[in-house]
Structure 1
Amino acid sequence: MFQSSLTSAAARIEARLSAALEGAADQPVTHAMRYAVSGGKRLRGFLVIESAGLYGIAPESAVDAAAAVEALHAYSLVHDDMPCMDNDDLRRGQPTVHVKWDDGTALLTGDALQTLAFDLLAAPSCHADPAVRIDLVASLAKASGIDGMVLGQAQDIAAETAGRPLSLEEITELQANKTGALIRWSAEAGARLARADIAPLTAYSTALGLAFQIADDILDVEGDAAKTGKRVHKDADAGKATFVSLLGLDGAKARAKALVEEAEDALSPFGEGAETLKQAARFVIARES
């Protein structure tokens, strides 16, 4: 059920992103945008569509918000891969944007993908009620900006120059911002589209986001670059504090498993209708990429 739902969501999101970029100027930055949004699991967009489904909202009515968060996520990856950040040359098994084109094109590509995200949310096709669209725009801005993802990246950069390893509390806060904020927004989006209480999905996605990051840290130790599509062992090589370095491999795995159980429990108000989201939580710690 989960895999078929993920595949279906990915197809819808890719079609929406393709339509959004159709007719754009024939420029390197446009080609780089299409390149940057191609591939990937589409987990964040899936969470938007699946959480909307809990409230009876059809996938086609949630796809604009799903495509928006995927565009914003792609922007963050393009910028994160640049030499001034993580200086990665491989993403999803392909050369990163700054490697395939150049730094200037990569910078503009990220900028353009970020603005595309808000363009999609502000469009009348996203939701008939302007108040709902404003709520989606405002909440994504907060999740992706200095109170969320950007803060997490800034904390990550600061940690590299701090001269001391981060504590478990500090690394948890950092990753709740850097990785967790967009995952939280994605799961909450369904409730926002339905004008419903976001609290159960906030609890679910907070646990899910932390489990996702712990799984990433485990993959950096145990993963295969051919499957992950990016470099492995880079955290250890850089001497960065991770959940694995702080908890040990077995401890990190146990913590991730406990978080998945916490995420599943948070979905209890939705009964059997939340089974696919529960499967998504199990997927994030079992994935190989």
Structure 2
Amino acid sequence: MENKVWLITGTSKGFGKIWAEAALQRGDKVVATARNIDSLADLVTKYGDAVLPISLDVDNREACFAAVQQAQEHFGKIDVLISNAGFGHFGCIEEISETEARAQFETNVFGSLWMIQAVLPMMRTQQNGHIMQVSSIGGVTTFPTLGIYHASKWAVEGLCDSLAQEVAGFGIKVTLIEPAGYATEWGTASAKQSKAIEAYNGVKAALYQAFSGVPQGNPDNTASAILTLADAENPPLRLFLGAVPLHVIEPVYAKRLADWKAWQPVAEKAQ
């Protein structure tokens, strides 16, 4: 199998770094991006010319296109884009400021859009490529205190669902990666938090209690799944990571279907 060239955003830590290292360990090449290029130094030291480090803030559309152009000039192609850069914002809907809401969408939605738009011309010319967009279990269901984060991930889900239909004829594959809770910095050091309104303390306490016993996944264990996904001839549009998501989602979707069916007589009157 020919070695692949990966472009991964958000490779300074967490999933991005783990997946970059997994690709490099098997002999692939990686364009590794992060806002702070110093955070990529250890990858360069260990893997040398197989890594192209690029400083990138995905909020900047021109910078996204420039990064893809630099990658193409350096390695000649991009086989896999993993659009991983993003963050979680915690806060009940009433607590979220305009600045916080816009920042969440700027990175999680627009940053993903810019990267996808940037790689598409090359992948269309190649007549192949695989766009992997990191979403979340929070892209298919919701929990209180994460409304603006959910909104951003549901937006990305719709974006990539349409994208998959648009680019299939060019040989381009699209997969939404939907992890459950993992022991990364997503919910701690990398997270943002709105100023609290005391009235919602009970909602937050109930949520904390509900999830206090749920085991977190080991992020290192996701590497083999991503490599399997990259090598699949017919990858899925959506892939859960972890044992938890399917058990959470099945009753959610069952309830939606039951409600739609129960209210179908009302819906039909509106035809």
* Pairwise same-fold verdict (TM > 0.5): no
What TM-score, normalized to structure 2?
0.32
Mark the structure with the bigger radius of gyration: 2
What TM-score, normalized to structure 1?
0.30
